[in-house]
Structure 1
Amino acid sequence: MYFNHQKLSCKETALQLLSRRDYGEQELHRKLAGKGFSENEIGEVLAYCHDLGYIDDIKFAQSQIRQHISKGQGEIRIRQELKQKSVSETDIDMAFQDFDTDWYELARISAMKKYRVLETVEPKEYARRVRFLQYRGFDFEQIQYALTPDSDE
């Protein structure tokens, strides 16, 4: 069935968007505002969706965290992405409480996936690997751990 998007109400548009993927409250607000709905309409629809549990910033953040961890990304990058999606610092902190992730091991796994072997390399290559892991969202201690070859002494 073909839908004419201009005839959909704000609520229908919101539900259609939410049927495709999860949205944070502010992200959905921006999307609806971009489609020309009034602040009043958007406010009512967000309250409706919130009351029914269709939008929940903590659950949204948890879903995003799971996705980013599965991609081998670190906490810094994940927090940055959630902030860009206008999730509050408080909600981000609450969402992270449900995860017991070993960021050091995740950094090592990400490095191993990309570089296969972690033997000592020349400084230029080491710097390139550090930049890669920084981009992935790991802090310096995690990167050092990830790029230190295992010693079987």
Structure 2
Amino acid sequence: MTENTSSNSKGRAKPKKSVKEAAVGYLSRRDHAEKELRQKLIARGYSAEEVDQAIDFCQDYNWLNDVRYASITVRNGIAKGWGELRIQQEMAMKGVESSVIDQVLEAADIDWNQHACEVAQRKFGQTPIDTPKEKAKRYRFMQSRGFNFDQIAYAFGQDEEY
């Protein structure tokens, strides 16, 4: 056996990098929410106290900022064709507080009905909805993207013939 077998499958060995180096490493690749970064660092074997210090350090230098992270998530979500509900869910899963989510979505000042129209147009083009089955398929797609029923109805011209 060699000396480099310090980590085993049962217990975690002390990580080689300092917690600050690990935190900055994660943040250099992409922005993270505070809760998400905290979970990653704890999963790597750092103590809660060390993680708290690293989080404070990163926040002091504004490398970790939940408002900026939420703003980026909104921009990226819109670019991916997500609706407001999907974007909210994504941020909530990463641990962004609901007050921050609301603040950033309000500041985004997007017309969600118009965005739903654009997403529907990209996906389905000008082809008409000619069967109830097709209508259900399109509504399910838009729901999976995070649009509410009113936005979906608006996007499809509120065709209520089926």
CA distance in 2 between counterparts of 1:95 and 1:149 reads 29
CA distance in 2 between counterparts of 1:147 and 1:97 reads 25
**1:105 corresponds to which of 114, 120, 133:** 114
Return the offset for 1:118.
4.5
Moved more, 38-47 or 5-14: 5-14
Q: Which amino acid aligns with 1:120?
A: I
Alignment: residue pair count = 146
Q: Which residue of 2 aligns with 1:13?
A: 22
Q: Which runs of 4+ in 1 moved over 3 A?
A: none
- 1:29 correspondence with 2:50: no
User: Which digits, 9 at most, give the CA deviation of each residue in 1:51-102, with x for residues without a partner?
Assistant: 1101111110000000000111110000011000010001111111221111
Q: Which residue of 2 aligns with 1:72?
A: 81
Q: Which amino acid aligns with 2:140?
A: R
8 A contact 2:15–2:45 mirrored in 1: no
CA distance in 1 between counterparts of 2:127 and 2:76 reads 26
8 A contact 1:10–1:32 mirrored in 2: yes
CA distance in 2 between counterparts of 1:57 and 1:37 reads 22
- 1:115 correspondence with 2:124: yes
8 A contact 1:119–1:149 mirrored in 2: no
Return the offset for 1:121.
1.9
CA distance in 1 between counterparts of 2:42 and 2:83 reads 32
Any unmatched runs of 5+ in structure 2? 1-13
CA distance in 2 between counterparts of 1:133 and 1:120 reads 14
Taking structure 1 as the reference length, what is the TM-score of the superposition? 0.91
Bigger helix share: 1
CA distance in 1 between counterparts of 2:60 and 2:24 reads 13
Q: Which residue of 1 aligns with 2:136?
A: 127
Q: Which amino acid aligns with 1:13?
A: A
Greater radius of gyration (CA): 2
- Equivalent pairs: percent with the same residue? 40
Any unmatched runs of 5+ in structure 1? none
Secondary structure of 1:105's partner? helix
